[in-house]
Amino acid sequence: MNRRPPSLRFTQRSLLSIGVALALTLGATGCSTPPPAPVVRASTLVQPFDQAIVLATDTLMQQIKTESGMFAKPEKSTVVIDPTLDAASGQQTAATQQLDQAIAERLKQKAERIQVLPFEAANVGKARWLLAGSIARSQNAFRIDLALVDVANGTVAAQSSAMAAPASVDMSPLAYYRDSPVVVKDEVVEGYTRTTTLQPGQKADAVYLKHVAAATIINDATVNYNAARYREALEQYRSALALPSGDQLRVLNGIYLSNVKLGQNAEAEEAFGRVVDYGIAHNRLGVKFLFNPGSTEFWSDPRVTSAYTMWLRQIARQVSSAKVCLDIVGHTSKTGPEEVNDTLSLKRAMYIKKRLSSESATVARLARTEGMGSRQNIVGSGSDYVVDALDRRVEFGIMDCNRLSASK
């Protein structure tokens, strides 16, 4: 069997470097019929976050240059960047914010024939491209996924991926997500993150595309909330809700949070009731109840837990009103032995059921408890800090009442 000479053995990094160098050389020589440059969509090379962003962005643009001939046209092509998300939680974080800014800067520096427009409804309608991106945990690294969607036909035109070293990625949630009482992830957010991983030629998620116009207003509202402009945020969340595509968890949650910050307690409770109602209707409601370590007692700081009684009251009311059967599932972060976490998560679920039952006797008959320990972590950092607050949650799922009867 013939063996390949050592001089012909290349690593993936070498091949990527050669491909980029070849593309630059061909562009410089002005050959009339250059061979097509190889299209590299993904890299497994783990590198610092800023370098991974550059690789993912450049790879995306190279695909468009190679496959669609967009740079052959004299006019500029326009692109809007739909703010990127953490794929697991649906949150915006310090890292996704850095990713957004770095992509925009890279496009301005290296793609002279691309104009980056602000993420606004009017711009989405006239832009050629919609760029979506996500960051996902992948074993011992973070994977950046970027997709460029053709606005005219809703098809993914290019997709790229790059791997970033964990130490360089700050996944601390931005203020809106840090303050949120619930896991802000619904079918719209899931459709967005799914789109970021689709291969060229595939249709972008239909639910996501349907809600893009509302997403521009939601983004403006969230920017205002993060900047502590709560009254402006509330007005924009309400404007988004008035749209046909505005009935989203991010909007209802934003109305709740803004009212809390404005000290409008009655309005806040009404808004939280709508959040719960949305969760029941869509069979998903994950609430962040923080407990003292190793305990079923709520976190000692009243600034964190003062709203818990109201949350429990609204959950009990909405469940009783809907007459649905409830599966109360406790979760913990992965700190500590698995058997301890299993027991602790069940005890916490039982405590929540007890508190709900004190608000409504109906809940006692319509609910069961379960402990999942750390087996369904969303973040999985094990830091027991704000980054993995979503792992220390209690989820409320709607279940078949016949199953509930059978389990008793």
Which of 179, 195, 211 is a domain's end point?
Answer: 195
Residues 180 and 314 in one domain: no
Where helices occur in 163-248 by DSSP H, the ranges are 175-179, 187-195, 206-210, 212-226, 230-241
Check residues 171 and 293 and name the one with the higher pLDDT. Answer: 171
Determine the pLDDT at residue 403: 67
Determine the pLDDT at residue 67: 55
* Residue 10: pLDDT over 90: no
The fraction of the chain above a pLDDT of 70, given in percent, is: 83
Mean local confidence (pLDDT), 245-257: 96
On whether residue 18 sits in a domain, the answer given is no
Tens digit of each residue's pLDDT (9 = 90 or more) over 258-277: 999 999 999 999 999 999 99
Determine the pLDDT at residue 301: 84
- Residue for token digits 């639910």? 207
| CA distance linking residue 103 with residue 98, whole number of Å | 9
Which of 152, 172, 195 is a domain's end point?
Answer: 195
* Residue 377: pLDDT over 70: yes
Which of 169, 195, 221 is a domain's end point?
Answer: 195
Residues 186 and 301 in one domain: no
Residues 183 and 289 in one domain: no
| CA distance linking residue 83 with residue 370, whole number of Å | 36
Lowest mean pLDDT among 198-212, 299-313, 391-405: 391-405
Over its C-alpha atoms, the chain yields an Rg (Å, rounded) of 24
On whether residue 142 sits in a domain, the answer given is yes
* Residue 15: pLDDT over 50: no
Q: Which DSSP string corresponds to 342-402?
A: HHHHHHHHHHHHHHHHHH-HHHHHHEEEEE-TTTT-SS-----SGGGGGGS-EEEEEE-HH
* Residue 305: pLDDT over 50: yes
Residues 311 and 175 in one domain: no
* Residue 347: pLDDT over 60: yes
Count of domains forming the chain: 2
Beta bridge partners of residue 338, listed in sequence order: none
* Segment 251-255 long-range contacts (CB within 8 Å, at least 24 positions apart): 251/214, 251/218, 251/221, 252/278, 253/180, 253/181, 253/182, 253/184, 254/176, 254/218, 254/221, 254/222, 254/225
Contact 145, 138 (CB under 8 A): no
* Residue 212: pLDDT over 90: yes
The fraction of the chain above a pLDDT of 90, given in percent, is: 58
Tens digit of each residue's pLDDT (9 = 90 or more) over 60-116: 999 987 655 554 455 678 999 999 999 988 999 999 999 999 999 999 988 778 899
Q: How many CB atoms lie within 10 A of CB 3?
A: 7
Closest CA to 287 of 173, 364, 161, 393: 393
On whether residue 50 sits in a domain, the answer given is yes
- Residue for token digits 């991974």? 52
Place 383 in a pLDDT band, splitting at 50, 70 and 90: low
Q: How far is CA 19 from the centre of its chain?
A: 32
Determine the pLDDT at residue 100: 98
Check residues 85 and 305 and name the one with the higher pLDDT. Answer: 85
Residue 44: which CATH number?
3.40.50
Q: pTM of the prediction?
A: 0.83
For residue 396, the enclosing domain spans 283-407
Contact 252, 274 (CB under 8 A): yes
Determine the pLDDT at residue 1: 42
The residues, ordered by sequence, that sit 6+ positions from 330 with a Cβ below 8 Å of its Cβ are: 344, 345, 346, 347, 348, 349, 350, 352, 369, 370, 371, 372, 394
Residue 328: which CATH number?
3.30.1330.60
On whether residue 4 sits in a domain, the answer given is no
Supply the mean pLDDT for the chain. Answer: 85
